[in-house]
Amino acid sequence: MPDDEAAALDRICASIRLRRDPAAVARLIRELPLPALSPDEAAWLDRAGRRTFARIAGPPAGPVGAGRQLAVAGALFDTVRAADGADAGGPEQVARAVRLGGREIGREPGAAGFRDGRLNREARAAAGLGGLSRRQYNKRFRLLQRLEVKQAVLDVAERERRAAALAETGLLSLLDAARPTADLETACLIAFQAARRHSRGALTGRLSWWAGRRVTELLLARLAAAPRTDWWALAHVHPVREVLARLTEHQRGQLAGRWSAALRETAVLLERASGRCALDPTAMYARPGDDAYAWNLAAKAWNAARTQYLEMLEAMDAQEVLDPVCPGQVPVLDVVEPASWRRWVGEEGYREIEVWAALPLPWRVVSGAEACPAELGARVCRRHGVDPVKAGWTVRPVRRGTAGSRLRAAFVDGVAHADPVLAGVLRERT
Residue pLDDT, tens place only, 335-387: 888 889 999 999 999 999 999 999 999 999 999 899 999 999 999 999 999 99
- Cα–Cα distances in Å, from 415 out to 208, 299, 407, 412? 37, 25, 11, 5
- 6-10, 87-91, 273-277, 363-367: least confident range: 87-91
Per residue in 397-409, pLDDT tens? 766 555 444 788 9
User: Of 94, 125, 159, which residue is a domain's last?
Assistant: 159
Task: Examine the domain organization and report whether 40 and 90 are in the same domain.
Answer: no
In a domain, 396, yes or no: yes
pLDDT band at 15 (very low <50, low <70, confident <90, very high): very high
Task: Examine the domain organization and report whether 212 and 94 are in the same domain.
Answer: no
CB distance 305 to 266 below 8 Å: yes
Q: What's the pLDDT at 285?
A: 93
Q: What is the dihedral of CA 226, 229, 235, 237, to 10 degrees?
A: -90
d(CA 28, CA 20): 10
DSSP run (H or E) holding 420? helix 420-428
Per residue in 250-306, pLDDT tens? 999 999 999 999 999 999 999 999 999 999 999 999 999 999 999 999 999 999 999
Task: Examine the domain organization and report whether 262 and 344 are in the same domain.
Answer: yes
d(CA 246, CA 410): 15
Q: What's the pLDDT at 404?
A: 46
Per residue in 123-178, pLDDT tens? 888 878 878 888 888 898 889 999 999 998 898 888 888 998 899 889 999 999 88
**How many domains does the chain divide into?**
3
Distance of CA 258 to the CA centre of its chain: 10
Backbone angles phi, psi at 352, to 5 degrees: -70, -35
Please name the residues in contact with 226: beta carbons below 8 A apart, sequence gap of 6 or more: 183, 185
Task: Examine the domain organization and report whether 15 and 77 are in the same domain.
Answer: no
Task: Examine the domain organization and report whether 55 and 195 are in the same domain.
Answer: yes
CB distance 256 to 316 below 8 Å: yes
Task: Examine the domain organization and report whether 130 and 205 are in the same domain.
Answer: no
Task: Examine the domain organization and report whether 194 and 268 are in the same domain.
Answer: no
DSSP 368: T
What are residue 55's DSSP bridge partners? 199
Task: Examine the domain organization and report whether 230 and 369 are in the same domain.
Answer: no
In a domain, 240, yes or no: no
Task: Examine the domain organization and report whether 259 and 146 are in the same domain.
Answer: no
Q: In the predicted model, is pLDDT for residue 62 greater than 90?
A: no
d(CA 233, CA 236): 6
pLDDT band at 410 (very low <50, low <70, confident <90, very high): very high
Domain that holds residue 132: 67-159
Q: Dihedral sign for Cα 234, 237, 240, 245, please.
A: positive
198, with CB counted inside 10 A (0-12, 13-18, 19+), is buried
User: Of 115, 130, 159, which residue is a domain's last?
Assistant: 159
Please name the residues in contact with 41: beta carbons below 8 A apart, sequence gap of 6 or more: 218, 219, 222
Task: Examine the domain organization and report whether 176 and 30 are in the same domain.
Answer: yes
User: Of 127, 142, 159, which residue is a domain's last?
Assistant: 159
- H helix intervals, 120-204: 121-126, 134-169, 184-198
Per residue in 106-137, pLDDT tens? 887 776 666 667 787 888 888 788 788 888 88
Per residue in 309-344, pLDDT tens? 999 999 999 999 999 999 999 999 998 888 899 999
d(CA 266, CA 298): 7
- Among 80-89, 119-128, 211-220, name the most confident range: 211-220
d(CA 163, CA 274): 16
Q: In the predicted model, is pLDDT for residue 222 greater than 90?
A: yes
Q: In the predicted model, is pLDDT for residue 204 greater than 90?
A: no
Task: Examine the domain organization and report whether 321 and 185 are in the same domain.
Answer: no
Q: In the predicted model, is pLDDT for residue 90 greater than 60?
A: yes
Task: Examine the domain organization and report whether 148 and 202 are in the same domain.
Answer: no
pLDDT mean over 93-110: 85
**359: nearest Cα among 335, 322, 385, 330:** 330
In a domain, 242, yes or no: no
Other CB atoms within 10 A of residue 91 CB: 20
Q: In the predicted model, is pLDDT for residue 201 greater than 80?
A: no
d(CA 297, CA 358): 22
CB distance 154 to 66 below 8 Å: yes
CB distance 175 to 165 below 8 Å: no
Mean pLDDT of the chain, nearest integer: 88
